[in-house]
Amino acid sequence: MPTPSMEDYIEKIYSLIENKGYARVSDIAEELLVHPSSVTKMVQKLDKDEYLVYEKYRGLILTPKGKTVGKRLLERHALLECFLSVIGVEEAHIYEDVEGIEHHLSWNSIDRIGDVVQFFQENPDALDKLQSIRKNN
């Protein structure tokens, strides 16, 4: 299993490739607010662990393993953002809150959160009731 730091890199690389078609060390560094040398070190580790293939000065590509993990991590992030939005967390706090909790929840907890989000999406009356409770508190 990747460490939380590895997860952040895999998620960001997957997202960049999905959005731009490629992920360069400089792009990753800019997105994660780290030095390019830190990215190079992590990319080399991810290459060693078979999440991606990295060739110096030529870029990188995700392996099937890296794509699977990256997609799952991006989906986890989006689900947690949706969940926090549904329960009424202020938009300004959602991204940082997700970054703070996403690595500390089991996949079972993530799946149950998905069930809660689905429940509220399928039951707008229940969502209205939740919002009413929130307003009264």
Instruction: Give the torsion sign (CA, 66, 71, 77, 83).
Output: negative
Is 103 known as a binding-site position?
Answer: yes
Is 47 known as a binding-site position?
Answer: no
Is 96 known as a binding-site position?
Answer: no
Q: How far apart are CA 123 and CA 134, in angstroms?
A: 17
Is 50 known as a binding-site position?
Answer: no
Binding residues for Mn(2+): 8, 11, 77, 99, 102-103
Binding residues: 8, 11, 77, 99, 102-103
